[in-house]
Amino acid sequence: MTMPGTAMIMAAGKGTRMMPLTADRPKPLIEVAGITLLDHVLDLLRAAGIGRIVVNVHYFPELIEAHLTANASDFDVAISDERDLLRDTGGGLVQALPLIPDDPFFCINADNWFADTEVHALHRMAQVWDAGQMDVLMLVVPFERAGNTQGIGDFDIDEHGRLSRDGPRRERPYVWTGIQLIAKRVVADPPAEAFSTNVFWDRAIAAKRCFGLVHDGDWFDVGYPAAIGMTEALLASA
């Protein structure tokens, strides 16, 4: 398929897990190795050739907007304004959808740190995307390579690449990296103004249209303060 040209960056959350570092700034403006999480995502998108970004804002929105003005002039930037109501990830997608021209489009969380190998992860995702079979394609990483994760794993994956998470909460072999390629048709019939993307994922899983692609580079969860130093040490030793 043609490489999608648009990515949505999830930047509206309050960054509760990052307190007290987020007491005076939004989580995407926290730095790791001297680079803000938001700039790290922007670099990832530049390297992939993405030209349009849609960024949702709620917590310290003026700081996000000012940072984008100063550091993202090479992108076509659209702001999805959630100042009046924080809509969570699913509601954020619903509100942003009219600003997104591409179908499918990338959606990226701004609290993870990625390192690519020879082929860019977003290019790999575009290469394997199959609109006939897929509604959602997530970039996942094996649990044992999920740096700093505090979870127990998110998904099982079958021989065809389909993701599932049936049954009670338990250890699972794959962790979601915070990057997904998603079809617009999934972002429909919202149950409320504010809700999790899990609603859309569960529908796609039930329809056997939720797939995973295993990331072949490093990945770190940097969603909590202690993870910053841990990630910096690992990056310095690489």
Which domains occur in the chain, in start order?
6-237 (3.90.550.10)
**Which residues are bridge partners to 174 per DSSP?**
142, 155
Comparing CA positions, the residue from 93, 100, 109 lying closest to residue 9 is: 109
CA nearest neighbour of 1 among 121, 100, 127, 122? 127
Q: How many helices (H) does the chain have, and how many strands (E)?
A: 6, 14
pLDDT (0 to 100) of residue 169: 85
Side-chain half-sphere exposure of 10, counting CA atoms within 13 A: 24
| pLDDT for the residue numbered 235 | 86
Per-residue pLDDT of the chain in tens (238 residues, 90 and over written 9): 689 999 999 999 999 999 999 999 999 999 999 999 999 999 999 999 999 999 999 999 999 999 999 999 999 999 999 999 999 999 999 999 999 999 999 999 988 898 877 789 999 999 999 999 999 999 999 999 998 898 899 999 999 999 999 888 899 999 999 999 999 999 999 999 999 999 999 999 999 999 999 999 899 999 899 999 999 998 888 6
φ, ψ of residue 104 in degrees (nearest 5)? -80, 175
CA dihedral 87, 88, 89, 91 (to 10 degrees): -30
pLDDT for the residue 47: 94
**Contact between residue 113 and residue 148 where contact means Cβ atoms under 8 Å apart:** no
At residue 120, the pLDDT reads: 93
Question: Model-level pTM?
Answer: 0.95
Query: Can you give the pLDDT at residue 237?
Result: 82
Query: Residue 212 and residue 225: Cα distance in Å, rounded?
Result: 28
Q: Is 100 exposed, middle or buried (0-12, 13-18, 19+ CB in 10 A)?
A: buried
Instruction: Output the CA–CA distances (angstroms, integers) from residue 110 to 27, 48, 126, in the order listed.
Output: 8, 16, 20
Alpha carbon of residue 177 to chain centroid = 7
CA angle 30, 195, 27 (to 5 degrees): 5
